[in-house]
C-alpha cells in the first residue's frame, strides 16, 4: 500500500491548487482524477463556455460594423471549426495542469477513487493508498431534474460541449447563469431558442433590478422566454423533438438543454466508511478551515456547496494547503464575491443586492444610470446598459455594484477591489473618470435615484 501525506480526490480547480501548494510545502502528495485534469472549469465549464461566448458575440459585432462604414460579405459560421479549435485549447490547458502537478512533485493517479476508511483510498483498479490527510475535491455535477417522460432525450451542460452541430431550434430549461449563458450562445450563433422558466424571473438570488433589466435585454435581442411554465414531457418526432409544456403548448425542437442546477459529487465516494455524513443539500459540511467532522479529512470546492465558483475552489484549496502543510492557518472570506454572468449582454456584480442591503442598511442610497453606450450611437444597437451602486448613507460605504452591458464582468473585478478596501462613495467621486468609457459612470453618478429611509 502506497503511503502519502496527502491524497487529493479530484483534479479540478480546488484539488489541483491544494495538491500543488501542499507539495510546495514539502508534503508527499497524490492526486486522483477519474476523467480529465482541470475539472469542470477547464474541461466543461468556464473556459470552453467563454470561448463559445466570444464566438457568439461576433454575430452582433458584424451587424454593428455596418454603422461604422464596414461592408461585409454575409458572414458564415462553422460549428465544427469552433468545436475543434475549442477542444484543442482545452486539451492544451489540460496538459499544462498535468505538467504543473508533475513539476510540483505530485503523483497523479488515474481512476475513480473511493474512501475505504479514515486514511485509506481505493482506486477502481483495486490499488489501495494511505495518507494522513485526505482532501475531497470532487466538485459537482448537473442535476437531472424531475424524471419527466422523455427526459433522457434532453442534454445537460456536459452534453452541450459535445454537440457536433448547431441545433436549429433549442428549448432551454432553467433560469440560472449556466442556462442563460448557453441559451445566449446558441441564440447568437443562429439557433431559435426558447427558455422555459419555472418562476417569474431569471437569476434567482441576484439583484431584482438587474434581473429585470437583463431579462428585458435578452428578450429584446430575440430570445424567447416562457415564464411560469414547466416542461411536462419530451417526445421524439422523427428527427426532431416535441416539448410539451404544462399549459398544453407544444414546442418543436432539435435539442432540449436542461440546466436545472448542480449537485455535489458525492455518489459512491464511500463517505460512510470514513464516518462522514452529508448536510441537507447533499454537500460535505466543513468548518472555516475546510475540515470535515472527521479528523484528517477535508473538503473544498463545489462538493461543499459554499460558493460554487472556480476562484473560490482555488482559494479554499490554497488555504487548506497553507493551513495543514504550511503552518499558516488561513480561512477564506465567502462574503465578498465579485462575479459575472456571461450572457449577452453580460452582467457583473459584487457585494449586496438592493434587497440584502436594505435589510442591513435602512438608510440606503441607490445610484443608478441606464444608457445606450457610445458605440451604439453609430452601430444603432438598441441595447441599454445598467450601472447601479448601493451606498450606506450612514457610513458612505459602497456596499453593492450591479451592472448589465458590455464589459460589466471586467468592471465587477475592479469594483470588487474597491469594495475590499471598503471604499466610500466619496472615494469614488474623488476618482478621476476615464473618458470616454462606460465605466466612468461609476465615478460620475452624483445624485441618488432612490433614497431609502426605512424606520428601524
Ligand X SMILES: Cc1cc2nc3c(=O)[nH]c(=O)nc-3n(C[C@H](O)[C@H](O)[C@H](O)COP(=O)(O)OP(=O)(O)OC[C@H]3O[C@@H](n4cnc5c(N)ncnc54)[C@H](O)[C@@H]3O)c2cc1C
- Tell me which stretch binds ligand X (CB under 6 A): 95-103, 133-141, 144-152, 235-243: 133-141
How many contiguous H segments (helices) and E segments (strands) does the chain have? 13, 22
Rounded to a whole number of angstroms, the minimum distance from the CB of residue 338 to ligand X is 10
CA-based end-to-end distance of the chain: 63
Determine the Cα–Cα distance for residues 134 and 30; give it in Å rounded to an integer: 10
β-partners of residue 385 are 371
Determine the Cα–Cα distance for residues 316 and 8; give it in Å rounded to an integer: 13
Give the residue carrying C-alpha cell 422555459.
196
Q: Does 157 bind ligand X (CB under 6 A)?
A: yes
SS3 label, residue 170: strand
Closer of 307 and 418 to ligand X (Cβ): 307
Active-site annotation holds for 435 = yes
Rounded to a whole number of angstroms, the minimum distance from the CB of residue 145 to ligand X is 15
* Joined grid coordinates for residue 305: 456547496
Closest CA to 190 of 56, 344, 48, 52: 56
Interhelix angle 46-65/79-103, rounded to 10 degrees, is: 140
Closer of 63 and 110 to ligand X (Cβ): 110
Site string for ligand X, 252-271 (x = CB under 6 A): -------------x---x--
Rounded to a whole number of angstroms, the minimum distance from the CB of residue 425 to ligand X is 28
**Binding to ligand X (CB under 6 A): which residues in 56-115?**
112-113
Rounded to a whole number of angstroms, the minimum distance from the CB of residue 239 to ligand X is 26
Give the pairing type, strands 169-173 and 192-197. parallel
SS3 label, residue 231: strand
Contact residue for ligand X among 301, 326, 348, 400 (CB under 6 A): 301
Site string for ligand X, 14-43 (x = CB under 6 A): xx----------------xxxx---xxx--
Closer of 97 and 367 to ligand X (Cβ): 97
- Tell me which stretch binds ligand X (CB under 6 A): 72-80, 299-307, 363-371, 381-389: 299-307
Closer of 229 and 338 to ligand X (Cβ): 338
* Joined grid coordinates for residue 314: 482555488
R_g of the chain computed on alpha carbons: 24
Closest CA to 304 of 361, 332, 266: 266
**Binding to ligand X (CB under 6 A): which residues in 319-358?**
none
User: Helix H segments across 333-450?
Assistant: 354-360, 375-379, 408-420, 425-430, 441-444
Cβ-proximal residues to 103 (8 Å cutoff; 6+ apart), any chain: none
Closer of 283 and 442 to ligand X (Cβ): 283
Closer of 417 and 454 to ligand X (Cβ): 417
Rounded to a whole number of angstroms, the minimum distance from the CB of residue 14 to ligand X is 3
Rounded to a whole number of angstroms, the minimum distance from the CB of residue 46 to ligand X is 4
Site for ligand X, rule CB under 6 A: 9-15, 32-35, 39-41, 45-46, 49, 112-113, 137-139, 157, 178, 265, 269, 301-303, 308-311, 313
Residues noted as catalytic: 435
Amino acid at each position: 500500500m502506497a503511503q502519502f501525506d496527502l491524497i487529493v480526490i479530484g483534479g479540478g480547480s480546488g484539488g489541483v491548487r491544494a495538491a500543488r501548494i501542499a507539495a510546495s510545502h514539502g508534503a508527499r502528495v497524490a492526486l486522483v482524477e477519474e476523467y480529465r485534469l482541470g475539472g469542470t472549469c477547464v474541461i466543461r465549464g468556464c473556459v470552453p463556455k467563454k470561448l463559445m461566448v466570444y464566438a457568439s458575440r461576433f454575430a452582433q459585432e458584424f451587424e454593428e460594423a455596418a454603422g461604422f462604414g464596414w461592408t461585409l460579405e454575409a458572414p458564415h459560421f462553422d460549428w465544427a471549426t469552433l468545436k475543434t479549435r475549442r477542444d484543442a485549447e482545452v486539451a492544451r490547458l489540460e496538459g499544462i495542469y498535468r505538467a504543473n502537478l508533475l513539476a510540483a512533485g505530485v503523483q497523479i493517479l488515474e481512476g475513480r477513487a473511493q474512501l475505504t476508511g479514515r486514511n485509506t483510498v481505493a482506486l477502481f483498479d483495486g490499488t489501495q493508498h494511505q495518507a494522513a490527510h485526505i482532501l475531497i475535491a470532487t466538485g459537482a455535477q448537473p442535476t437531472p431534474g424531475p424524471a419527466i417522460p422523455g427526459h433522457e432525450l434532453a442534454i445537460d451542460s456536459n452534453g452541450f460541449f459535445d454537440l457536433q452541430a448547431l441545433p436549429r431550434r433549442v428549448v432551454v430549461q432553467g433560469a440560472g447563469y449556466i442556462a442563460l449563458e448557453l441559451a445566449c450562445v446558441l441564440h447568437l450563433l443562429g439557433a431559435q431558442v426558447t427558455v422555459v422558466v419555472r418562476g417569474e424571473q431569471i437569476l434567482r438570488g441576484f439583484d431584482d433590478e438587474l434581473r429585470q433589466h437583463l431579462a428585458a435585454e435578452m428578450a429584446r435581442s430575440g430570445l424567447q422566454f416562457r415564464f411560469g411554465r414547466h416542461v411536462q414531457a419530451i417526445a421524439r418526432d422523427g428527427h426532431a423533438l416535441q416539448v410539451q409544456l404544462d399549459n398544453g403548448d407544444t414546442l418543436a425542437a432539435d435539442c432540449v438543454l436542461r440546466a436545472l442546477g448542480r449537485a455535489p459529487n458525492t455518489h459512491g465516494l464511500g463517505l460512510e466508511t470514513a464516518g462522514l455524513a452529508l448536510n441537507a443539500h447533499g454537500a460535505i459540511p466543513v468548518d472555516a478551515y475546510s475540515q470535515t467532522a472527521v479528523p484528517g479529512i477535508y473538503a473544498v470546492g463545489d462538493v461543499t456547496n459554499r460558493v460554487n465558483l472556480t476562484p473560490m475552489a482555488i482559494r479554499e484549496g490554497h488555504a487548506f494547503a497553507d493551513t495543514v502543510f504550511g503552518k499558516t492557518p488561513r480561512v477564506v472570506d465567502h462574503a465578498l464575491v465579485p462575479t459575472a454572468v456571461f450572457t449577452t449582454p453580460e452582467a457583473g456584480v459584487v457585494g449586496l443586492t438592493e434587497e440584502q442591503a436594505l435589510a442591513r442598511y435602512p438608510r440606503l442610497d441607490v445610484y443608478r444610470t441606464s444608457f445606450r453606450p457610445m458605440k451604439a450611437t453609430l452601430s444603432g444597437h438598441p441595447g441599454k446598459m445598467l450601472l447601479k451602486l448601493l451606498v450606506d448613507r450612514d457610513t458612505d460605504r459602497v456596499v453593492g455594484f450591479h451592472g448589465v452591458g458590455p464589459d460589466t464582468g471586467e468592471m465587477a473585478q475592479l469594483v470588487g477591489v474597491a469594495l475590499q478596501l471598503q471604499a466610500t462613495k466619496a472615494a469614488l467621486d474623488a476618482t478621476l473618470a476615464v473618458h470616454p468609457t462606460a465605466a466612468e459612470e461609476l465615478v460620475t453618478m452624483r445624485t441618488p435615484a432612490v433614497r431609502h429611509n426605512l424606520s428601524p
